[in-house]
Structure 1
């Protein structure tokens, strides 16, 4: 018998079995959702709004597999509204207009539409603007899903018309609950296959899914298929095959990427080598380009270690050169050496702050003339005009420093930008410069009339 000739009920059952486990187990009520307790626990504002059917346009921001699509489907179900979904990856402005026109007609007929836009951050400004009048008129209940920070990826006009709800990564314990539900469900899950699996193995699957419920159910489905031919038990050996190529979430162009490099930088700055090594391992595990890490670590050597330990910059450059020559995985050890050293050594941003202070004066005081004694005089005319007149050659002065000679434009007077910290090499620099500054003040006081 051909499938087309099969009874409709048999055909629907067959098609249902062809759907992935993650799709079959999609929650049909709010109570079936795992995780998101902060947003959807009993008596929370969002839950009360959904259950009453009084839903609003919103942006759902969260990692993959945390329930954004499921929540949008439930919004439509509880609001007795038509559910329409488009993907910003696959849809263009013509399709958007077509969907909006159909929603407008449906609205005129007295029925609402929940329009779910997946990956909404992929739409450009013009495409995002197309939704605005329909949201304002109530033609659609707009639900945009994004894995990226809406503040950066969505235009302010759309954000002003939607409420942003932040969904969190699902904990391993909550993922285990979803797996157990799938194992026990005879209708939609794998309950009819009599699969046995230990609690430890379920937790291992949940951890490998890295907060993604959809991914966890997919891993369970693969493991169940393998186990069917092995007596129905998901053994550690079976699980080893399924989880062999596990990967963690890491978007090389998204907020998570910049959050992790920020965590690495701040761990180095806080002199916490253990935290710094953890974030280095996370970024290497996610496939971060080592040259990017080396550039950022060199910046840390300049910005955060500074003159407290000038060897840090030298080491950063050496490690960069070494990595270019030896590559991974041995080059990762050099990276680890650098991270531990930067995090462990003395820190100072004194020279960085000195530059900022000097730039502030440059901006505020304009183009101050160079004092005559500091100007170069390569020609006779320039010497006649007084260029370089009065300059004291420090090497010819007792002590090697002309104490009563200023380095600033006359109208500015002496300034102090650089304030060494009492850490690392800057302890010695501070002691020397403090003595020199006192000596300069005394020398200038002696040159004043009447002194």
Structure 2
């Protein structure tokens, strides 16, 4: 018989039924449309969006149980296209399985495309989980075939109820005769994360003597235990995202010392250096952009170098990149511009490409006017000539606004001279 004391408390208390899940009443209350749909045996492909520790994985498993379907769990961290195709091929022998994919936002386009056909044909019911906004991280074709449901951070009442349940139901905690006198510190340190709340309760409980008639938990004890464990770094949990956020925000804020500190914290915690390099690559474009295009080049080379040499030497490359990015001029002008363009494209996808901008590889297309009146810029002075490049309905639309840095200001002046001068 296995020793259940070796099983983490969150796993020992994992809900066995939908009714045991706390904090998601907007989905699981008896009168909620989502719950009514499940009770009727209907489960479409869905994506759960929410922070760590709110029950995405547990909910996916219990949904499969509720509709009496096979359940297959995969992780985006270690599942490639080949494995996905094998799972999909094998699903033909099963009652339509529920395929759960944790951290689906980490799937690249080819991995997401591999899912698309199976979802379309009903070979699988996809349940994806993500901590990132699926509108940005899941491709539109797959997203359009899934319902997106948001899971909420657990509020203080839900955390308190969870802690009380743990003390009342867990046989190991029962042996310690625990009473919670003050909840505030437990709630605060959990940050709305059920897993963190239970792990902290378990840590505090392990400081107690089982021979005591009563063991009381107060805020001071919780703070003391929590401070002793904050150096631990869970590279798959919330601190993974918190430290990454602190690193990027320090770079954005032009503080190389803070950026180096957060980088060191991540590396000391065992973070994947390629993950860090990937975040730096994004920051180089999002936060620096055309104020210093060399930042993107250095970040790209840093990522390749990190992949080539690995740790511990990768720390030097990452450190160099972090300092360069933190001390570079900052601009988010192109980040804002592409977001505006994406929003506009979503609303105006039906607008035709102007005839003069269309390709005309055949005689029929030329006869239809494709490419007619196109002005070839290299035939004109300074390789520029005025002409309209947008659909007529969008003429004059401005998406890019330069930031106030030397490089972009110079570019803006050139553009003004090009577009505002009257052509002879």
Aligned residue number for residue 222 of structure 1: 203
Once residues 159 and 50 of structure 2 are traced to their aligned partners in structure 1, the CA distance between those partners, rounded to angstroms, is 16
Once residues 197 and 113 of structure 2 are traced to their aligned partners in structure 1, the CA distance between those partners, rounded to angstroms, is 36
Change (3 A) 1:124 1:17: same
Query: 1:176, 1:203 within 8 Å by CA — same for their partners in 2?
Result: no
- Normalised by the length of structure 2, the TM-score is 0.56
State the secondary structure of the residue aligned to 2:215: coil
Once residues 203 and 28 of structure 2 are traced to their aligned partners in structure 1, the CA distance between those partners, rounded to angstroms, is 30
Aligned residue number for residue 28 of structure 1: 16
Query: What is the CA-CA distance between 1:221 and the residue it aligns to?
Result: 1.2
Aligned residue number for residue 180 of structure 2: 197
Instruction: For 1:118-267, list aligned pairs within 5 A.
Output: 118-186=102-170, 190-198=173-181, 200=182, 202-229=183-210, 231=212, 232-236=214-218, 238-244=221-227, 245-246=229-230, 249=239, 251=241
Q: 2:68 pairs with 80, 90, 94, which one? A: 80
Query: 1:250, 1:257 within 8 Å by CA — same for their partners in 2?
Result: no
Gaps of 5+ in 1: 1-10, 266-279, 303-348, 369-410, 412-451
Aligned residue number for residue 270 of structure 2: none
Once residues 257 and 57 of structure 1 are traced to their aligned partners in structure 2, the CA distance between those partners, rounded to angstroms, is 34
Query: What is the CA-CA distance between 1:230 and the residue it aligns to?
Result: 7.1
Aligned residue number for residue 98 of structure 1: 86
Gaps of 5+ in 2: 232-237, 265-279, 292-400
Once residues 159 and 53 of structure 1 are traced to their aligned partners in structure 2, the CA distance between those partners, rounded to angstroms, is 22
Query: What is the CA-CA distance between 1:246 and the residue it aligns to?
Result: 4.1
Change (3 A) 1:363 1:51: farther
Residues 112-160 of structure 1 show CA distances to partners (whole Å, capped at 9, x for unaligned) of 3111101111111111111111111212110111111212222112111
Aligned residue number for residue 342 of structure 2: none
Are 2:6 and 1:18 equivalent residues in the alignment? yes
Query: What is the CA-CA distance between 1:252 and the residue it aligns to?
Result: 6.2
Once residues 50 and 190 of structure 1 are traced to their aligned partners in structure 2, the CA distance between those partners, rounded to angstroms, is 34
Residues 359-390 of structure 1 show CA distances to partners (whole Å, capped at 9, x for unaligned) of 7743533587xxxxxxxxxxxxxxxxxxxxxx
- Normalised by the length of structure 1, the TM-score is 0.53
Query: 1:195, 1:228 within 8 Å by CA — same for their partners in 2?
Result: no
Once residues 229 and 240 of structure 1 are traced to their aligned partners in structure 2, the CA distance between those partners, rounded to angstroms, is 21
Instruction: For 1:23-422, list aligned pairs within 5 A.
Output: 23-106=11-94, 111-186=95-170, 190-198=173-181, 200=182, 202-229=183-210, 231=212, 232-236=214-218, 238-244=221-227, 245-246=229-230, 249=239, 251=241, 287=262, 361-366=416-421
Query: 2:51, 2:153 within 8 Å by CA — same for their partners in 1?
Result: yes
Query: What is the CA-CA distance between 1:76 and the residue it aligns to?
Result: 0.5
State the secondary structure of the residue aligned to 2:207: helix
Query: What is the CA-CA distance between 1:259 and the residue it aligns to?
Result: 11
Change (3 A) 1:15 1:367: farther
Rg larger for: 1
Once residues 86 and 191 of structure 2 are traced to their aligned partners in structure 1, the CA distance between those partners, rounded to angstroms, is 37
Query: 1:179, 1:216 within 8 Å by CA — same for their partners in 2?
Result: yes
Residues 182-224 of structure 1 show CA distances to partners (whole Å, capped at 9, x for unaligned) of 101145x6234322221x1x33112101111011111111211
Once residues 253 and 222 of structure 1 are traced to their aligned partners in structure 2, the CA distance between those partners, rounded to angstroms, is 22
Query: 2:185, 2:223 within 8 Å by CA — same for their partners in 1?
Result: no
Once residues 243 and 136 of structure 2 are traced to their aligned partners in structure 1, the CA distance between those partners, rounded to angstroms, is 12
Once residues 240 and 156 of structure 2 are traced to their aligned partners in structure 1, the CA distance between those partners, rounded to angstroms, is 18
Change (3 A) 1:366 1:144: farther
Runs of 4+ in 1 over 6 A off after TM superposition: 256-261, 355-360
Query: What is the CA-CA distance between 1:63 and the residue it aligns to?
Result: 0.6
